[in-house]
């Protein structure tokens, strides 16, 4: 089943797209959404979508900027740019990549379904050719990858795809084997490495934005959410309770 993500700053547009398509019939599932390109970049590793709908016009990071970043990191990701008629040629000129499709807003349900069917057929063929590339992901290989993450988690651009490419494995297959061997997802283990270091830095009273950057999460807001989820308390509360003694 192919995983789909929707990125649009308008909630109504996201809800309309969710409700208007029979995802199950297309062998697809909606795995998440984001209201901006920046938010999407922060959570995309965890969601691992195969297909992304992204609106061209969003604040902070628009659809073009998101696509330029995402296609470098995730070479197999299929991106569908949602654009108004006035911006259509602009979008095509900015992004000339095979992994990118275009859909005019307001969209027609039948056109979206036809486009997704075409994409599904292409992905089916691709997966048949590349299925289980790098099959011999042994427990030893997983341990090497875990050590690589322990040594390099401070790199902000490290992600499932980059690590898979570094070791010569298929990202989806690596994701499954990593969870199978460790009991944690790739992202969970990476966050664990970062949070363990963050706890040390918080214990000596380091400011949150400095710690966030030091552990490879330069967005302090996203770092703050990760820390609170991992520790059950906010970064500032942790600092206060461990540096006032």
Q: pTM for this structure?
A: 0.59
Q: Please report, for residues 28, 63, 109, the alpha-carbon distance to residue 203 in angstroms, rounded to integers and kept in the order given.
A: 44, 39, 53
Dump pLDDT digits (tens) for 170-201. Answer: 787 888 889 889 999 998 999 999 999 999 99
Quote the tokens at residue 148.
Answer: 């690589």
Q: What are the chain's domains? A: 2-130 (3.40.50.2300), 139-243 (1.10.10.60)
Q: Which helix (H) or strand (E) holds 140?
A: helix 139-152
User: Considering the chain, what is the average pLDDT of its residues?
Assistant: 85
Name the H helices within the chain.
11-20, 37-47, 63-73, 88-94, 109-130, 139-152, 160-167, 171-182, 186-203, 208-214, 220-231, 235-243
Tokens linked to 196: 């363990």
Rounded to a whole number of angstroms, the CA Rg of the chain reads 20
Using the predicted structure, report yes or no on whether residue 14 has a pLDDT greater than 60.
yes
Question: What pLDDT shows up at residue 195?
Answer: 96
Q: Going by C-beta distance under 8 Å and a sequence separation of 6 or more, which residues neighbour residue 245?
A: none
Phi then psi for residue 2, to 5 deg, are -85, 140
Confidence of residue 68 (pLDDT cuts 50, 70, 90): confident
pLDDT digits (tens, 9 = 90+) for 131-166: 555 477 888 899 999 999 999 999 988 988 889 888
Residue 137 pLDDT: 83
Confidence band of 98 (pLDDT split at 50, 70, 90) = low
SS3 116: helix
Say how many C-beta atoms besides its own lie within 10 A of residue 43's C-beta. Answer: 16
Asked whether 53 and 7 are in contact (CB, 8 A), the reply is: yes
| Residue 128: per-residue pLDDT | 66
Please tell me the predicted confidence (pLDDT) of residue 186: 92
The beta strand positions in 47-150, using DSSP E, are: 51-55, 78-83, 100-104
- Average pLDDT, stretch 21-50? 88
């Amino acid at each position: 089943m192919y995983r789909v993500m929707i990125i649009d700053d308008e909630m109504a547009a996201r809800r309309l797209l969710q409700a208007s398509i029979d995802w199950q019939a297309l062998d697809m599932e909606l795995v998440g959404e984001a209201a901006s390109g920046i938010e999407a970049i922060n959570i995309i590793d965890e969601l691992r979508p195969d297909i992304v709908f992204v609106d061209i016009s969003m604040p902070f990071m628009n659809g073009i900027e998101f696509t330029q970043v995402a296609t470098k990191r995730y070479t197999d990701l299929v991106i569908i740019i949602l654009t108004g008629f006035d911006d259509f040629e602009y979008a095509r000129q900015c992004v000339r990549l095979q992994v990118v499709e275009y859909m005019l807003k307001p969209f027609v349900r039948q056109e979206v379904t036809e486009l997704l069917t075409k994409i599904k057929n292409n992905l089916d063929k691709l997966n048949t050719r590349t299925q289980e590339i790098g099959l011999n992901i042994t427990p030893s290989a997983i341990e090497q990858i875990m050590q690589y993450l322990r040594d390099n988690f401070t790199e902000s651009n490290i992600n499932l795809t980059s690590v898979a490419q570094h070791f010569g494995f298929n990202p989806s297959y690596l994701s499954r084997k990593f969870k199978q061997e460790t009991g944690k997802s790739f992202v969970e283990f990476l966050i664990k490495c970062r949070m363990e270091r963050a706890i040390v830095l918080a214990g000596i009273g380091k400011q949150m934005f400095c710690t966030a950057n030091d552990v490879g999460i330069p967005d302090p807001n996203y770092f703050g959410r990760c820390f609170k989820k991992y520790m059950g308390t906010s970064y500032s509360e942790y600092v206060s309770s461990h540096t006032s003694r």
